[in-house]
A and B are shown apart, each in its own frame.
Chain A
């Protein structure tokens, strides 16, 4: 038994009993979990009230979140994890030449956001999700438009849609340089790494998950023959290689050092200076020169990468994989762990609504499988967004001109400690609570608690959002209980009577903390404790 629990028992604390909401209160757990999964923040007080008054309001409330900026951000988070973007690699492209003066740290961040903004735009606008694989567009901000030579309106929004201008096939994220640079190839590997991400991440194919042992070839055996004839190779390569061939014409990679060298040399013709030239139409048939098979999907020839994107989008596996990815994200499971029947049911919803992914999202969150799914650790992005929504606090740090959000930055922040991925070394999110996350959440919650209390102190009573009963400071037991009831409602969506055991516990904590420091600080720490409560961090 953990030491803390033993300590509780040793102190004479009775074994705790189950603690429901106040008698008669509608349990808001479903709304609470759905709000965090969908937009990364708990429901507002108004939404909670509306839901408690009429639980059938759940769907309208969730639909209202479709236009919440937090929903678009969560869609980007989801796709970043799926595509293993937002890596902590420093210096993806250098801030040189026309980018002199641009923050290289911010450029590293922005480069990976391009396909993510495309994904969130498709989802939030309700355009067919198949465009993820078929559109000629990407999304760009001012700096990335210089990197890639994309049109950009300085008077428009920060992130804008723009077509590629180098003649590359219209294949959505498949032809996006951010993806292609994340999955670099070599002259001898012929884009197989890029094909692998198509199979595993876009189509949820299990063909690369073979547990069959690969054995070395015999001496002198030509490698391209081996991958077709050796049973330990051919299973994967028969699926992989025709997809890889569809990427012909794209550069295997452009290195940061190559760009720097090019600028040092004065950008001679053909050197990799901005805008980067990443596609060569004349080389799009090069697969034949390398004895690779013709581009195809499941044995049916396709016309290059654009044809591949269209074939993938039309494949029923894409709809099912999409359903698995969204529902897996909502429930904190891997796509393959989503029950087959649920995945198929949700895929049908997606297809019936012409691939409007918003309908998939709502159906997923209303599904019984979501309501009954096991609790899962809150993600770093959700934690940061929840803390901001509740307290107004963001934990940031300035780094070389970039303002980094520490809970979600893997470069200098705590994203991987909070259970997130970093797109490079840490590729799987934590599926269980961890000590690292406890420590990182404590640091975030304490700062947020102090921030919220200071803000409450400086505001007029009518403007306070959390301390609505009284300003944080010395309070009688009666007043403190009422304030704690409010905090439980706003932070944890728990409707409690002021004599509830949970309020007793919180009051006891408050008094213990007041013995250590002043009452205002004690309230800050109590709030920080609620921000670390299992209800929030294990929704």
Chain B
């Protein structure tokens, strides 16, 4: 690996040994976006486990295999640490040009969080931890909490495009769109009775449900019937809203198109999408090159769409439920790793910084939760603290959902 400063001069020593400390200086850029309670949230979930050493958390080849084994066939095909708007990022414009272009354009608006300790190496458990902040079943994810706490007038509080959403008991406040966006065909259903008839049926159903709710003999039944009323109400609001969504199949691009439509039409306060890319690279680590390239090409487009639409109230959180082990296995892939990275951009984010850090062995270092600076006298950053910070950044009191977690506020201060 060589270091090729592009925007900001930095030595390899600075970049690899004092990485976080060297760049975690407060950005002079103004923080954009609405007040927390008015912010919308988009969580981009990278299911499968990305390898942060390919982009966010460069390591010396002596410590971690990273992206290097495939590289080097020609001079241009090499990963180097470059600094984009204050962010040191491992860049290889030949293999991962999308990464380079994204950070050239938006590095100064982006916060990278390294050394995020998820504490699990099993997909379902790790997904639960990174999306909900808890290892426990049946707790709602960030988008469900934010969307149900205050929908901001949107017809649906949250929208799950990924399928991996965990609405738990908040299901009545949100919409599942289907793996291929099937909801679009329901919102535009030619067989549906005319509005006057449809409304009369909806009123009848609400009336009957409310009768049953009043007659309910247990709190559980009363709650279910209350949720049924809420669901009928949301469905009616969605019809009245005239929400139009593209039904274009299952892919990251398709999900982003649907997310864009939801944002443009102010139809949901919180959105969960997935990249649908093959990140779980037990047998083919080289896939991570293409995955990162595609991820950042699409994030770039998404960011441009947000800018073009004037959507400066949208906070985008990009997370993966786990990282990858530093060394490749006998299949040429890597195993699950309980430490990962995250990325934030948009509303409320004070960009151009790397927060947190890992050591040479890709173990999470301690962190000062207020500044985000590595502090080996403190504990590493945990998923619940990260999630609590996101909730707070969206104007939700995290103590109601994650009472034990000190919010990680550094990205927003």
Contact = CB atoms under 8 A, between A and B. Distances in A.
B139 to A, nearest CB: 12
B338 A433 contact: no
A341 interface: no
B232 A2 contact: yes
Contacts of B330: 187-188
A328 to B, nearest CB: 13
A436 interface: yes
Chain A CB count within 10 A is highest, among B124, B169, B210, B337, for B210
Contact of B233 (A2, A440, A509, A513): A2
Contacts of A428: 166
Given A7-B203, A219-B361, A188 B335 contact: yes
Contacts of A446: 189, 191-193
Contacts of A18: 211, 214-215
A468 interface: no
A215 B323 CA distance: 12
A538 B170 CA distance: 16
Contacts of B215: 18-20
Interface stretch (B73-81, B101-109, B222-230, B256-264): B222-230
A437 B179 contact: no
A430 B166 CA distance: 9
A216 B232 contact: no
Chain A CB count within 10 A is highest, among B122, B175, B204, B214, for B204
Interface in B217-274: 218, 220-221, 224-225, 227-238, 274
A52 interface: no
Contacts of B135: 210-211
Contact of B228 (A223, A417, A431, A433): A433
Interface stretch (A69-77, A111-119, A352-360, A419-427): A419-427
A435 interface: yes
Nearest to A513: B197
Contact of A186 (B230, B283, B339): B283
A413 to B, nearest CB: 7
Chain A CB count within 10 A is highest, among B168, B183, B207, B227, for B207
A440 to B, nearest CB: 6
Contact of A4 (B233, B331, B338, B362): B233
Interface in B117-152: 117, 119-122, 124-125, 135-137
A292 B162 CA distance: 36
A8 B202 CA distance: 11
B210 A17 contact: no
B191 A447 contact: yes
B249 to A, nearest CB: 10
Contacts of A525: 193, 197, 201
A7 B237 CA distance: 13
Contact of A439 (B162, B172, B183): B183
A491 to B, nearest CB: 12
Helix, strand, loop or mixed for chain A's interface?
loop
Contacts of A4: 202-203, 206, 229, 232-233, 236
A436 B183 contact: yes
Contact of A413 (B182, B221, B230, B238): B182
B412 to A, nearest CB: 25
B205 interface: yes
A16 interface: yes
B258 to A, nearest CB: 14
Given A433-B231, A438-B231, A513-B200, A443 B335 contact: no
Given A433-B227, A435-B235, A534-B209, A422 B187 contact: no
A535 B208 CA distance: 9
Contact of B172 (A209, A424, A435, A516): A435
B114 interface: no
Contacts of A414: 178, 182, 186
B338 A214 contact: yes
B214 A437 contact: no
Contacts of A58: none
A501 to B, nearest CB: 8
B176 A376 contact: no
Nearest to A223: B335
Contact of A425 (B119, B179, B218, B364): B179
B186 A375 contact: no
A532 interface: yes
Chain A CB count within 10 A is highest, among B135, B156, B206, B274, for B206
A95 to B, nearest CB: 21
Given A16-B210, A189-B282, A436-B176, A529 B187 contact: no
A443 B329 CA distance: 50
Interface in A503-532: 505-506, 508-509, 512-513, 515-517, 525, 528-529, 532
Given A5-B206, A433-B224, A433-B231, A425 B164 contact: yes
Given A3-B237, A188-B331, A446-B191, A374 B224 contact: yes
Contacts of B335: 188-189, 223
B228 A534 contact: yes
Contacts of B119: 212-215
B221 to A, nearest CB: 5
A425 B203 contact: no
A82 to B, nearest CB: 14
A509 B166 contact: no
A160 to B, nearest CB: 32
A192 to B, nearest CB: 9
A196 B122 contact: yes
A334 interface: yes
Nearest to B202: A4
B98 interface: no
B227 A216 contact: no
Given A16-B207, A196-B122, A416 B178 contact: yes
A219 B124 CA distance: 26
29 contacts: A2-B232, A3-B237, A4-B229, A4-B233, A5-B233, A19-B211, A186-B283, A213-B119, A216-B339, A219-B360, A336-B137, A412-B182, A414-B182, A417-B177, A425-B163, A425-B164, A425-B179, A426-B176, A433-B224, A433-B230, A435-B172, A436-B183, A439-B183, A443-B186, A509-B204, A525-B193, A529-B201, A529-B204, A538-B228
**Minimum-distance CB pairs A-B, first 10:** A425-B163, A213-B119, A18-B215, A374-B220, A2-B233, A435-B234, A4-B206, A438-B235, A16-B211, A432-B171
Given A425-B164, A427-B124, 20 more contacts: A4-B206, A7-B203, A8-B206, A13-B207, A18-B211, A19-B211, A19-B215, A188-B330, A208-B122, A211-B136, A215-B363, A377-B224, A417-B182, A432-B169, A435-B174, A435-B235, A437-B231, A438-B232, A508-B204, A538-B228
Interface of A: 2-5, 7-8, 13, 15-20, 88, 186-189, 196, 208-216, 218-219, 223, 334, 336, 372, 374-377, 410-414, 416-417, 422, 424-428, 430-440, 442-443, 446-447, 450, 502, 505-506, 508-509, 512-513, 515-517, 525, 528-529, 532-535, 537-538
